[in-house]
Structure 1
């Protein structure tokens, strides 16, 4: 603003003062129309501190092989009816017995491996018609394979196991499954081709399910055309036993089945799976250095109550929904150094009360949704990610408090660079609020990094409780760097954060709707 002042006109003395005046509200107790206050607060000590991340490079194929302990004796093999066998099979597959009966044209049967270890070669020698050897190292299984708690199946280097979709084959493990430098494929014997996803989610395709107490080792392996929409039959699944099932078991069987499933999945490739990975109640799972290509629903999906996971150095491409998603109380886990790109929705999502997770040093781009999404999940750290060229927002936070967005590079997203908001989810009639509660509250920090060339503003806030901002580098974000409730606080934020050691804490005065009991 140029101000011209004429003084002492009567004396003929004219003084012209020209200056540029920056008008700033130096008192940060703003008027009521601004609906909030901006306070200067010290920059938190951990704002510039990199999170401590487990060294995922130690999980080489050779290192994982050293973790495998196997029974010394040879397993016994038998054929039995599924519904007449173990209680856990009745619990898991009872609703599908009719389907299996129709597929097998008989009361459903399976191949049971008990009390030791066995290779595909040895299994085929005992059951040449049901595990048929096609060529050197190539086999087709024509019945489900059940690995008992005291048994192990080894699919060895150079082997290919084709699970016949037309015969209803799958692998269920309560013991140990090792697939090392080998292939497992869903297979159509009639056309001598993969059981490629047809678009029918319910159509049976073979799968691998590792159950309570199991250990799974997938090392330098390749998996193709597995999984369909049925509980735990999604492709590669690690699933804990239900409390209801455990009440029906006793002794050593109950003790073993009550343990969470665990495993190591390293340097492997997953193509055309319904879910590239799914877990329910798993623990201490390592997923490192894998490639997930063109899977159907999700690439990597740890779900209900899975904890202490390491998801690192994976590449997830071309999933028809989200690339990587952790959902429903998936806590205390690391999602680090992954690439998630060209997915039909979000690159990386954390949702449904998943807490204390670290999402760091990932690269997520060219997704048709957000780059990174945090939904209804407090207390998570998003650090040092590169998020760019996504069709919606760079980083979106909804109904989540205490979210730390530190030192991320967020570029050229069609929505906002960072978007904090709340939303009433009562329209989600399928949502069980006892299982998936939420509060219409969002808050967090945006500190450091670069936010530039995003179409709908740098940082957009819609009814957040508070945001703490510091060390911001905002460049060319549409017409305004701050949008929504932040826009009117622009001057106060700039003045407060001029010193890089200070942060601007913006406390909004919205009337919050509270928890989901009355959203």
Structure 2
């Protein structure tokens, strides 16, 4: 007789209901894990999209324009100053007296206290004693009494056919009834003050043949100009000066040199080689003038000039910089000026020009940079408006102890190079974050995540209904 084994007793391990519950719980855990993975993936992808948009859309990128442009300039050559050339009868470009001979067509009228002298080719032609002080340019015309040297038309115009130089001890004021001072375009003709005092008030000063410098060479040695030298005093006010100067030492247009001082106020200078220039000058005031369309610079204090004040001028459409201090120009101020639409930089401190204050200026629309510091430490840039340039504020070379504060830098291709702009208002420049766009991008991130989660849930439920899959749950 065969003995049958007893059936196994039912228990938790062999209960079908328990097994189903375990399977359902495992599937639910797996489904929840998958959902968490999907949600995490959505968050990560949304964040990556936000980062990509922040870098591509939330930051401005503008390609910097090239400022390289050919500009012809003569190399600097030490030479006699222009007034010495006239007195010695030497041609304007004389470098060494041993290589040049006096020329009779180089003529000058020198005004001293009590005397007028006429010189030609370095020789005295005539000496004219004066019974009293010279009160104006008509007195000089009457004393010389020779229209081949200087003449007047009786309607306010005086024409120089020779250089007119106010020598030490001499003084001359050119004002009404003279309204037009015309200088002949010929070698050696200029208006100069050599240790004396010269004032221009309400006068138009120009050459007798107004010629532009379309090629920007300024090589015509006949082009007249105004220069003060040897601690002279030159003051110009309410005057218009045009088509003056060339590319030669101190012959640039209107120049103060060799310890000279003075001022230019309420005047206009245009189509000259340089609007105004200083060289080893001191205490020169350049205020409320309009410099425009000059071949090189509008305002150019240069070479160890000190205490130069450039205030409330407009310098625009010049061939290079609007205002430049270069070569150890110290202790000056550039305040309240407008420099715009120049073919290079608006305002520049160059070659160890230190201890200057650049305050409250507007530099806009220049092809180059708004304000530039080139190897010029210890300067202050404050409260300037710098807009629409290539680089807003640009510093290179030695820039120790440079203070940059309170400036508004806006709408430039690049906000700055070589200098930090903390403490300044910086907005809407190229290569710069755009805060409003960034706020929009990152404010949308949670909304996008919630929207994607909702869309994913709807899609999942629709899929479950179409497949007939029951909802997963663990029950009794």
TM-score by length of 1: 0.60
Cα drift, residue 187 of structure 1: 2.0
**Is residue 187–residue 195 contact of structure 1 (8 Å, CA) maintained in 2?**
no
What pairs up with 1:327-338 in 2 under 5 angstroms? 327-338=326-337
- Deviates most, 199-208 or 265-274: 199-208
Other-structure match for 2:204:
183
Do structure 1's residue 455 and structure 2's residue 442 form an aligned pair? Answer: no
Other-structure match for 2:211:
195
Other-structure match for 2:250:
232
1:210 to 222, 228, 235: 228
**Is residue 82–residue 109 contact of structure 1 (8 Å, CA) maintained in 2?**
no
SS at match of 2:245: coil
**Is residue 100–residue 168 contact of structure 1 (8 Å, CA) maintained in 2?**
no
Cα drift, residue 94 of structure 1: 4.1
Do structure 1's residue 120 and structure 2's residue 116 form an aligned pair? Answer: no
**Is residue 107–residue 188 contact of structure 2 (8 Å, CA) maintained in 1?**
no
SS at match of 2:421: strand
What pairs up with 1:18-167 in 2 under 5 angstroms? 85=87, 94-95=94-95, 106=104, 108-115=106-113, 117-127=134-144, 128-129=146-147, 130-157=149-176, 158-166=178-186
Cα drift, residue 323 of structure 1: 0.5
Other-structure match for 2:345:
346
Q: For residues 99 and 197 of structure 1, what CA distance do their matches in structure 2 show?
A: 29
Aligned length: 338
Q: For residues 105 and 300 of structure 2, what CA distance do their matches in structure 1 show?
A: 33
Cα drift, residue 406 of structure 1: 0.2
SS at match of 2:377: coil
Q: For residues 97 and 212 of structure 2, what CA distance do their matches in structure 1 show?
A: 23
Q: For residues 289 and 378 of structure 2, what CA distance do their matches in structure 1 show?
A: 28
Q: 1:92 to 1:196 in 2, by over 3 A?
A: closer
**Is residue 85–residue 91 contact of structure 2 (8 Å, CA) maintained in 1?**
no
Q: Which runs of 5+ in 2 are unaligned?
A: 1-28, 44-82, 114-132, 439-476
Do structure 1's residue 169 and structure 2's residue 185 form an aligned pair? Answer: no
Other-structure match for 2:4:
none
Q: 1:376 to 1:316 in 2, by over 3 A?
A: same
- Determine which structure has more spread, i.e. the larger CA radius of gyration: 2
SS at match of 1:278: strand
Q: 1:368 to 1:454 in 2, by over 3 A?
A: same
Cα drift, residue 353 of structure 1: 0.5
What pairs up with 1:384-403 in 2 under 5 angstroms? 384-390=383-389, 392-399=390-397, 400-403=399-402
Do structure 1's residue 220 and structure 2's residue 238 form an aligned pair? Answer: yes
Q: For residues 239 and 308 of structure 1, what CA distance do their matches in structure 2 show?
A: 14
SS at match of 1:202: coil
Q: For residues 376 and 475 of structure 1, what CA distance do their matches in structure 2 show?
A: 33
**Higher share of residues assigned helix:** 2
SS at match of 1:298: coil
Cα drift, residue 109 of structure 1: 2.0
Q: For residues 385 and 140 of structure 1, what CA distance do their matches in structure 2 show?
A: 43
